[in-house]
């Protein structure tokens, strides 16, 4: 298990999402009414940045061709082979902390 401090709670407004680089991996971070979620940022269709997508409730829509994902569990609701990883995010003081278990695989 690995943990990473992402940013401050105040850095992401409710209803917003953004892309962050964490240990060489792009992560999409979401704020749904003050509850934070994170998934892989890479859309399984053609690599759109989900952190730049449209967030409605707990569904993010890819900005390129509109595949949709449930950010709670990373399930792609647009394609049966499109699922991505979802990660727990906890609030520790003023910080948002990402837990990655199992850890990211380093390719080089």
- Chain contacts with ligand FES (rule: CB under 6 A): 43, 45-48, 62, 64-67
Q: In terms of CB distance, is 69 or 87 closer to ligand FES?
A: 69
* Tokens describing residue 33: 């009414």
Q: In terms of CB distance, is 58 or 78 closer to ligand FES?
A: 78
Which residue, 29, 31, 72, is CA-closest to 51?
29
Nearest distance from C-beta of residue 83 to ligand FES, angstroms: 13
Nearest distance from C-beta of residue 78 to ligand FES, angstroms: 7
C-beta neighbour count of 73 within 10 angstroms: 13
Q: In terms of CB distance, is 63 or 104 closer to ligand FES?
A: 63
Which residue, 2, 60, 1, is CA-closest to 29?
60
């Amino acid at each position: 298990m690995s943990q990473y401090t992402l940013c401050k709670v105040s850095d992401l407004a409710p209803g917003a999402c953004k892309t962050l680089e964490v240990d060489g991996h792009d992560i999409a971070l979401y704020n749904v009414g003050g509850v934070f979620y994170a998934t892989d940022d890479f859309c399984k269709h053609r690599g759109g940045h989900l952190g730049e997508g449209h967030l409605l409730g707990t569904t993010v829509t890819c900005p390129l061709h509109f595949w949709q994902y449930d950010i709670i569990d990373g399930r792609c609701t647009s394609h049966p082979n499109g699922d991505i990883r979802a990660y727990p995010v906890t609030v520790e003081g003023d910080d948002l902390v990402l837990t990655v278990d199992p850890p990211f695989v380093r390719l080089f």
